[in-house]
C-alpha cells in the first residue's frame, strides 16, 4: 500500500491518496501562519488500516517543514498530538 499526502489549498485540506485513490482528508481554515484543523475524515474502505494516523502525521510534518503552527479543533488530530508529544510544540495557543 503506497500513500501520498498533499496539500490541496483550493479546498483547504490535506488529502491522502492510497494507491492513487483518495482515501481521506483533514480540513483546515488558514489564519495567517496558523492552520486551524476542523475535521478529519477517512473513507470507510480505508478505516482501521492506519490511514488516518498516516494522514495526520504527514500533514503535521509538512506544516512543521513550512514553519507553521496548528490549532487542532478536530478531535482526531488533537488526540493524535496528545499521543505523539513530538508535535506538541506545533500547537498554537488561541488568544
56 within some domain: yes
C-alpha cell at 20: 492513487
**Domain limits for position 78:** 3-90
pLDDT classification of 95: cutoffs 50, 70, 90: low
Cα–Cα nearest to 2, from 58, 67, 68: 58
- CATH number of the domain encompassing residue 60: 3.40.630.30
Give me the number of domains the chain comprises.
Answer: 1
Asked whether 38 and 28 are in contact (CB, 8 A), the reply is: yes
pTM: 0.94
95 within some domain: no
Residue 20 has pLDDT above 70, yes or no: yes
35 within some domain: yes
70 within some domain: yes
pLDDT tens by residue, 21-68 = 999 999 999 998 899 999 999 999 999 999 999 999 999 999 999 999
Amino acid at each position: 500500500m503506497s500513500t501520498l499526502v498533499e496539500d490541496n489549498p483550493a479546498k483547504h485540506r490535506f488529502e491522502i491518496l492510497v494507491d492513487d485513490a483518495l482515501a481521506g482528508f483533514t480540513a483546515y481554515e488558514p489564519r495567517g501562519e496558523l492552520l486551524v484543523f476542523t475535521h478529519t475524515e477517512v473513507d470507510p474502505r480505508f478505516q482501521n488500516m492506519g490511514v488516518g494516523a498516516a494522514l495526520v502525521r504527514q500533514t503535521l510534518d509538512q506544516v512543521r517543514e513550512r514553519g507553521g503552527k496548528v490549532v487542532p479543533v478536530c478531535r482526531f488530530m488533537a488526540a493524535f498530538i496528545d499521543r505523539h508529544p513530538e508535535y506538541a510544540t506545533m500547537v498554537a495557543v488561541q488568544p
